[in-house]
Structure 1
Amino acid sequence: MKALLNKFITQDFWRIGIIQKSPISVIDQGLHGLDIQWLNCSTKDFEADPFIFMIDNTYFIAYEIFDYSHGNGKIECIDLEGNRYPFFDDINAVTGHKSYPFVFEENNNIYTIVETSDLNEAVIYQYNGYKFVKKSVLLDNGKYIDTNIKKIKDIYYLFTSTADEPFKQLLFYSDSLFGDYRLHPSSPIANDKKNGRNGGPIIEDNGNFYRIGQNCEHTYGGSLQVMKITHISSDLYQEQHYKDVMPVEPFSDGLHTLSSWGDLTVIDSKNIVVKYQNIYRKIKYLLMIKLGIEKPFFDTCDENTKREI
């Protein structure tokens, strides 16, 4: 009964932190002792999945705001002063859940791949000077989540998993950014709750590459497990465990995203808080699911560790 009560009164509270260091420095040093600027950009309890990028010498952070009242997320975008920008408005207008706004630069253009798994496809969007607009469907026939692309030696590697199997890390490759993407011979490259789900973009440092994995072995978004890529080509992929990155106070109950642009790194971390008003909200939401009023979306570690609804 106590465990059941805790499920109804607890909730994950996520916030974004900025660190004035390169990602590999953050990973090697760990978060303890680092100067982290924690943002508080809205009244929402869930501000997470941050991706930092630069346009016209201005830094922006794209991140997910999750609405616990109906179980769907959308993408917010701010500069470092907290001013909001409508870059993702067209994407937010699409039906369903949006999260993990992976943003990257290629050939002097800015692109994003936002998780829109309800659409059963992975889509790349291009920034046109005002907003991100749909450019191409990279993968279809799958509920793709947490998707990254990295170009290495003229080959584009696409790392992803699916909502049905979030910890089975799939690898695709292509000679072109916009496809045709083929399943890599080594795929799946991971199938483990410790690192099978992406927690940020591929990091490049001095010719080495690192994949960031969410460690959900004990709780959703518990920490990060960094994997060093020891070999990557069109016919072989290998990686090995490199470092664990653990959360720290004042948000010490979880950590599940790390991204960077130059020497600026952003993370997200959580506290698990008690809110007795959650009892009404969660019962209401479960009834909505039962009656089919709202399509549920669960960002899952497994059936027993669903994101708190």
Structure 2
Amino acid sequence: MKKYIASLIILFGIIVLLIINYRTPFFQQDGGGWSVGYGESNTYPENINVKENQVYSIESLKKQNDSTVFLADPFFVKEKDTFYLFFEHKKTKNNGDIGLMTSVDGKKYQYRGTVLTQKFHLSYPQVFKYKNNFYMIPESKQANAILLYKAHHFPFDWKVCDTLLKNVRLKDPSIYLSDSLNILATSDDKLNLYIYQADSLFGKWKLHKKTIALRGTEARPGGRFFADKKGLILPVQNCTNGYGCGLSLYRFSFKDGSYSTARIAPFFLKGNKDIKEFSAGMHQLDVQRIDNNKYYYVYDGNRLNSDSKKLNIYGPLKWTYVDLKNWILNR
């Protein structure tokens, strides 16, 4: 009897390990530094062929700033005839800063330097125009708050003008503002994606009554909300093969004070072995309509350091536990 029970336990353990290894492999690829890519299309981008687009690589930025470790989390705004591309600029032994590149044609970019630096780490610089002023909501998790910055001499001279959320350690806040809907999507370290709402940008931001939108290995924003003919879409990071391996698209449908979510494009962006800079994975996307007949988009990705893989035990165990818990809670 004891041997039978022991055999069942071993069999159960093997099954669990196989599930874990399928969902999030123990052996994960050896990813390196990040780069930025960009492109355009005359119609809404149902898919993006990154092989046809241009890349601003680590090497390109190193020529301008030799302390560069990577550039990631790109967001852009187009003002008049200029593209302003803001990004997380990680430099040797420093916290992340917010860097800037500009272009007059959306094809050739010039590095313009650092536009925002703090004593804490900054990333994910979502920049947007609101009532004729430019604002930025970067990730400021280490400040225990979600901070709102205003440009006093755009694209430079950014200063904190408001604190949207206090005493929180949240990642990658993505905001959407309109006359009828104002929401903020952001995630915590426990793989939960929360939705906040307010009556305006400067209103009081509160958790939505349906607090958590997504849980598990796809529960971290990966770019700006954008709209197609059917409504709102949020890029969401996919971490099943480790951090930064891919990006999926989720539709958010708000109605009668609540909302629903649907995964509409699994791995919309993912690693491509044919592109050195994005051979390991991709995790950020910003799509905007820049005129009546054209869309422009920026994204990032990282490269493989080698063909070897690293052993990662903690990640698969953690993510599988979270996914299993969420499956039980949502039944």
After superposition, the Cα gap between the structure-2 partners of 1:97 and 1:133, relative to the gap in structure 1 and judged at 3 Å, is same
Gaps of 5+ in 1: 1-5, 276-299
The two structures have a TM-score, normalised by structure 2, of: 0.72
Structure 2 residue matching 1:231: 3-state secondary structure: strand
The letter of the residue matching 2:173 is: T
Q: 1:23 Cα deviation (Å)?
A: 8.9
Matching residue of 1:75: 98
The letter of the residue matching 1:171 is: I
Q: 1:59 Cα deviation (Å)?
A: 0.5
Matching residue of 2:223: 200
Matching residue of 1:114: 138
Matching residue of 1:38: 55
Contact 2:31-2:302 within 8 A present in 1 as well: no
Matching residue of 2:39: 19
Structure 2 residue matching 1:148: 3-state secondary structure: strand
Counterpart among 193, 204, 209 of residue 232 in structure 2: 209
Cα distance in 1, alignment partners of residues 184 and 114 from structure 2: 23
The letter of the residue matching 2:169 is: K
Matching residue of 1:128: 152
Give yes or no for the alignment of 1:269 onto 2:301: yes
Contact 1:121-1:143 within 8 A present in 2 as well: yes
Contact 1:17-1:268 within 8 A present in 2 as well: yes
Cα distance in 1, alignment partners of residues 213 and 244 from structure 2: 20
Considering fraction of residues, name the structure with more helix: 2
What pairs up with 1:161-200 in 2 under 5 angstroms?
A: 161-162=187-188, 164-165=189-190, 167-194=191-218, 196-200=219-223
Counterpart among 136, 141, 156 of residue 182 in structure 2: 156
The letter of the residue matching 2:174 is: N
Contact 1:231-1:239 within 8 A present in 2 as well: no
Contact 2:61-2:111 within 8 A present in 1 as well: no
Q: 1:66 Cα deviation (Å)?
A: 2.2
Cα distance in 2, alignment partners of residues 24 and 63 from structure 1: 24
Q: 1:57 Cα deviation (Å)?
A: 2.6
Cα distance in 2, alignment partners of residues 74 and 303 from structure 1: 32
Structure 2 residue matching 1:42: 3-state secondary structure: helix
Q: 1:20 Cα deviation (Å)?
A: 1.2
Contact 2:177-2:200 within 8 A present in 1 as well: no
Contact 1:23-1:265 within 8 A present in 2 as well: no
Matching residue of 1:53: 77
After superposition, the Cα gap between the structure-2 partners of 1:258 and 1:149, relative to the gap in structure 1 and judged at 3 Å, is same
After superposition, the Cα gap between the structure-2 partners of 1:61 and 1:304, relative to the gap in structure 1 and judged at 3 Å, is farther
Considering fraction of residues, name the structure with more strand: 2
Q: 1:271 Cα deviation (Å)?
A: 1.1
Matching residue of 2:47: 29
Instruction: Show CA shifts across 1:57-93 (max 9, x none).
Output: 31011111223x536321111113433335723xx0x
Cα distance in 2, alignment partners of residues 178 and 14 from structure 1: 34
Runs of 4+ in 1 over 4 A off after TM superposition: 300-305
Counterpart among 83, 94, 111 of residue 84 in structure 1: 111
Q: 1:127 Cα deviation (Å)?
A: 1.6
The letter of the residue matching 1:147 is: P
Q: 1:303 Cα deviation (Å)?
A: 8.8
Structure 2 residue matching 1:227: 3-state secondary structure: strand
Matching residue of 2:281: 254
Matching residue of 1:279: none
Cα distance in 1, alignment partners of residues 79 and 306 from structure 2: 39
Cα distance in 1, alignment partners of residues 79 and 247 from structure 2: 28
After superposition, the Cα gap between the structure-2 partners of 1:254 and 1:156, relative to the gap in structure 1 and judged at 3 Å, is same
Contact 2:38-2:299 within 8 A present in 1 as well: yes
Q: 1:153 Cα deviation (Å)?
A: 4.1
Task: Say what the alpha-carbon RMSD is for the aligned residues.
Answer: 2.8
Contact 1:77-1:85 within 8 A present in 2 as well: yes
Structure 1 residue matching 2:142: 3-state secondary structure: helix
The letter of the residue matching 2:56 is: L
After superposition, the Cα gap between the structure-2 partners of 1:303 and 1:19, relative to the gap in structure 1 and judged at 3 Å, is farther
